[in-house]
Amino acid sequence: MNGDPKDETPFPEHPDLTPQEDAAQRGTDPDHVVGTDPPRPPLPDPDPGWQPDPNRVHEWRGILNELGKEHRPRCEDVYPYLLIRAVASGDRGKRPTWPPVPCWESPDILLIDASYPGPFDPARLVVSPTAGRPYRVFVRIWNLGLVPAIGVHVKAWAINPGFFGVGNQNDPYYQQNLIGGAWVELSDRTRPGCVAVVELDRPWTPDPADIGHHCMLAEVSCPLDPASGLLLSNNDRHVGQRNLEVLAGSAEIKTMLSILGGQVTQGFTLELTHAGPAARAMLQALGGGRITDAHGEPHEVVVPELAEIRGGVHMSTAVHLLTAFSQRGRTVVAASDRLAKVAGMKPPQPEGGAVAHHPFERPGATRRLLDKLGPDLWARVGTVTDAPLGEVLVEGIARQYDVGDLTAQALAQRFGGPEGAQHALRFALIDPKYQVVGGYTVVIG
């Protein structure tokens, strides 16, 4: 084309076609146009003898459930996932923890003497408060979810020492006295703000008119991840429990033993174990890396290894010391090592490098064994009397470890271990169905 219209070749016109020529060029239409299905053959007549198979319903229900799991996200991926730890390390919120991990030694309920007005300082943490002295209360809370937690409410309570847990929440002895609360927000778990140490809005002063020993409870909740409201640390990751007393040096432990023994009613069982090295992380967390003696002097946390603990029955992670209960007017405090000897029990041997678990690790196992042996053999394994359990517990421990003066230091020396070691004694209350109600830890050294 050079721009001159006379030089352009005109487009050819469409030729006129006969119907036969047009049909030849177009071709024929397909048998089935797009979007339609070919006709199906007729269905066969139903089998007149057919009966439904009920097992097929369960089979298909199982298939659908598995398909649902494949596409169902985890709770912490779509909601906040709040937590107050029950254990010093490795707690991701799975409950229950006991057995074997105690649920009453939360490392996230923290105290600092109210005379210190500065910011939170782990070096100033107080493990065992003194009655009549005010303390600032801090609660460490966590959000393990991928969604920020808005409107987070933290609260804490003080209750009398003992075995607060399943079944006794409404006992007047365990009345929950509110200490205070606070409102905060937490980031999602991918950000540093997913954990916070929150100070409550008011200090706490243990009432000197009370028993002098206290347990503490804390709860965290938010609209998208609410707590159950039952304050059961072994059932709800929103709840932390601190049932702990530190008695050092010349401090006498008779009062504490009498209080704990007095909380064991007919049909229930008290088991005492030595935590051994398992208590190290908890003591370091609550004391900021050290523990304070009766004179207020800080000391390094030192706990004995299992092999260094004298007496008792050595289990995989602890040492079982004694079992106590009252039944039909008789009070029994049985030494675990004597019980195992009378029963002819031998330490289990590990197989293939696995940890050997002792039968005593099962809650209520020693009580079952004592019931099987019968009352005629109880005197061979410990103290049997008609006195109240609170009194017999003191007498039984003093006799078992040959300690005339039941002070913290004197009893700690009987357990052995390094000089100045702290010994964590865990008291667990077992109900008649051999389920753990709650526990209390006494640290002596």
Q: Clarify whether residues 201 and 260 are in a common domain.
A: no
Q: Clarify whether residues 251 and 156 are in a common domain.
A: no
pLDDT in the model for residue 432: 94
Q: Does residue 249 have a pLDDT over 80?
A: yes
Q: Clarify whether residues 193 and 213 are in a common domain.
A: yes
Q: Number of folded domains in the chain?
A: 2
Pair of tokens at residue 374: 């019968």
Tell me how far apart the alpha carbons of residues 409 and 396 are, in angstroms, rounded to a whole number. 18
CB-CB neighbours of 295 under 10 Å: 8
Taking alpha carbons only, the member of 438, 437, 440, 435 closest to residue 424 is 440
Q: Clarify whether residues 314 and 367 are in a common domain.
A: yes
Q: Is 344 buried (19+), middle (13-18) or exposed (0-12) by CB count in 10 A?
A: exposed
pLDDT in the model for residue 12: 62
| Residue scoring higher pLDDT (303 or 23) | 303
Q: Clarify whether residues 370 and 411 are in a common domain.
A: yes
The last residue of a domain, from among 222, 242, 262: 242
Q: Does residue 56 have a pLDDT over 90?
A: no
Question: Residue 373: inside a domain, yes or no?
Answer: yes
Question: Residue 3: inside a domain, yes or no?
Answer: no
The last residue of a domain, from among 242, 275, 299: 242
- The 10s digit of each residue's pLDDT in 181-232 is 999 999 999 999 999 999 999 999 988 766 567 899 999 999 999 999 999 9
Residue 90: partners with Cβ closer than 8 Å, 6 or more residues away: none
Q: Clarify whether residues 262 and 383 are in a common domain.
A: yes
- The 10s digit of each residue's pLDDT in 371-427 is 999 999 999 999 999 999 999 999 889 988 888 888 999 999 999 999 889 999 999
Q: Clarify whether residues 161 and 247 are in a common domain.
A: no
Instruction: State mean pLDDT over 362-369.
Output: 93
User: Could you give the residue ranges of the DSSP H alpha helices within 27-127?
Assistant: 54-71, 75-78
The last residue of a domain, from among 196, 222, 242: 242
Question: Residue 183: inside a domain, yes or no?
Answer: yes
Question: Residue 48: inside a domain, yes or no?
Answer: no
Contact 216, 440 (CB under 8 A): no
Residue with tokens 């504490």: 256
- The 10s digit of each residue's pLDDT in 105-147 is 999 999 999 999 999 999 999 998 888 899 999 999 999 999 9
Range of the domain at 186: 73-242
Q: Clarify whether residues 300 and 444 are in a common domain.
A: yes
Q: What is the dihedral of CA 39, 40, 46, 50, to 10 degrees?
A: -140
